[in-house]
Amino acid sequence: MRSIDIHAHLTPQCFWRATTGSHDWHGVRREQDAQGQEYAVIGSHRQALPPRAQWTPEQRLADMDSMGVDMHVVSPYAGFYNYHLESQVALATARDANNEIRDMITSWPQRFAGLATLPMQDVPVAIAELERVMVQHGFKGAMIGDQINGRTLDDPMFLPFWKAAEQLGALILFHQGGPTMVSPRIARYHLPNSVGNLADRTVTFATLVMGGVLDACPDLKICLSHGGGYTCYGIGRIDRNWHTRPDIHQLIPQPPSAYLRRFYYDCIVYTEAALRYLIDTVGIDRVVFGTDWPYDMAFDWPVSWVLSLQRLSQAEKEAILWKNLERLLAL
């Protein structure tokens, strides 16, 4: 029995080294409060970093062993997307983080694979970086945000990116970074994380489908983190919208539900009933293992949780834990 984690983040050691002693890392600073909590500071925005975000690859491997996780498909910390900065600054942070993942893959090829971060505000530069890491360093794809400075990824400016990702065979993992699209209404109670990012993932599904991206790129590989948000639960209403509105109906040749199996979904839904519903809606072959390591929403014992589920067969557990990702990413 293997376990391959598609949703495991890296706050690179180069960031920790560069920001020691009040220095910055391509404009990003680090602060610590009186309780010892570390923060990444980008402009006026402070983002809390969990203790395990500082861990070396060796410490990370020990933690993986304790949880029974064989492989992390490592993606850089979403707080460092830096889409709002000049593209060359974002490229510098992306290259540093991606190169550190490259070194992890090289040193521990049986334990780590890579998803890059990209300066998506500059599509030609993002394509060049995706091609670099995939062709030269064997990455499996990239992790990007649900929106780039307010633009969803169905915007025509991003079509060359989708064509390049399709041609390269890159898996694109969607993961929120920074404010969500609904954040003005939910600024309290950590709701941007617990509610907002699920709404963002649903908007991503709907816009990519009805914006024609899936039809334009039939071989595209996309994974929606956090179980795709509310997509599966709300697909009936999204379909109804397509059936009843002529202006929406003419956009795509099939109802949105016909595209559900064009995506992959990680298993981070937290309850057995929700995971069972996800599997029954999209098919067991489209659900993959993820943990959200090392952040506060991560499962405590993710492999044990999957193995404990009574409403999943042994074959379904094996498909989620490793077989689907082994096939999808040729691991």
What DSSP line would sit under 195-262, residue for residue?
Answer: IIHHHHHHHHHHHHHHTTHHHH-TT-EEEESGGGTTHHHHHHHHHHHHHH-HHHHTT-SS-GGGGGGG
Whether residue 94 is predicted with pLDDT greater than 70 in this model: the reply is yes
Whether residue 25 is predicted with pLDDT greater than 90 in this model: the reply is yes
**What average pLDDT does range 13-18 have in this prediction?**
95
Residue labelled with tokens 């000049």: 86
Confidence of residue 212 (pLDDT cuts 50, 70, 90): very high
CA atoms within 13 A on the CB side of 236: 2
What pLDDT, on a 0 to 100 scale, did the predictor assign at position 27?
Answer: 86
Whether residue 186 is predicted with pLDDT greater than 80 in this model: the reply is no
Whether residue 142 is predicted with pLDDT greater than 90 in this model: the reply is yes
Confidence of residue 202 (pLDDT cuts 50, 70, 90): very high
Confidence of residue 187 (pLDDT cuts 50, 70, 90): confident
Domain count, the chain: 1
Which residue pairs, CB below 8 angstroms and at least 24 apart, start in 86-93? 87/119, 87/121, 87/122, 87/125, 88/119, 88/125, 89/26, 89/27, 90/119, 90/121, 90/122, 91/119, 91/122, 91/125, 91/129, 92/26, 93/25, 93/26, 93/28, 93/117
Is position 42 within any domain? no
What is the average pLDDT score of the chain? 94
**What average pLDDT does range 258-262 have in this prediction?**
98
Is position 198 within any domain? yes
Whether residue 42 is predicted with pLDDT greater than 90 in this model: the reply is no
Confidence of residue 182 (pLDDT cuts 50, 70, 90): low
What pLDDT, on a 0 to 100 scale, did the predictor assign at position 213?
Answer: 98
Confidence of residue 119 (pLDDT cuts 50, 70, 90): very high
Residue-number span of the structural domain to which 242 is assigned: 4-12+53-329
Indicate which CATH number applies to the domain containing 183: 3.20.20.140
* The one-letter amino acid at 274: A
Q: How far is the C-alpha of 193 from the C-alpha of 327, rounded, in Å?
A: 30
What pLDDT, on a 0 to 100 scale, did the predictor assign at position 196?
Answer: 81
Whether residue 107 is predicted with pLDDT greater than 70 in this model: the reply is yes
Confidence of residue 97 (pLDDT cuts 50, 70, 90): very high
Summarised one tens digit per residue, pLDDT across range 45-80 is: 888 899 999 999 999 999 999 999 999 999 999 999
**What average pLDDT does range 259-274 have in this prediction?**
98
Of residues 196 and 270, more confidence is placed in 270
Q: How far is the C-alpha of 86 from the C-alpha of 190, rounded, in Å?
A: 29
Estimate to the nearest angstrom the gap between the alpha carbon of 160 and the chain centroid.
Answer: 20
Lowest mean pLDDT among 38-47, 141-150, 213-222: 38-47
Nearest to 286, CA basis, from 297, 275, 298, 296: 275
Whether residue 124 is predicted with pLDDT greater than 90 in this model: the reply is yes
What pLDDT, on a 0 to 100 scale, did the predictor assign at position 297?
Answer: 86
Is position 33 within any domain? no
What pLDDT, on a 0 to 100 scale, did the predictor assign at position 189?
Answer: 77
Is position 26 within any domain? no
Whether residue 303 is predicted with pLDDT greater than 90 in this model: the reply is yes
Is position 136 within any domain? yes
What DSSP line would sit under 111-142, residue for residue?
Answer: TEEEEE---TTSHHHHHHHHHIIIIIH---EE
What pLDDT, on a 0 to 100 scale, did the predictor assign at position 183?
Answer: 64
What pLDDT, on a 0 to 100 scale, did the predictor assign at position 86?
Answer: 94
Lowest mean pLDDT among 97-101, 193-197, 264-268: 193-197
Is position 323 within any domain? yes
Is position 109 within any domain? yes
Summarised one tens digit per residue, pLDDT across range 223-239 is: 999 999 999 999 999 99
**What average pLDDT does range 69-97 have in this prediction?**
95
Report DSSP state, residue 25: B
Q: For residue 198, give both structure tokens.
A: 């699920």
Strand, coil or helix: 288 = strand
**What average pLDDT does range 181-189 have in this prediction?**
70
DSSP bridge partners of 31? 39
Is position 21 within any domain? no
Confidence of residue 88 (pLDDT cuts 50, 70, 90): very high
CB 107 within 8 A of CB 19: no
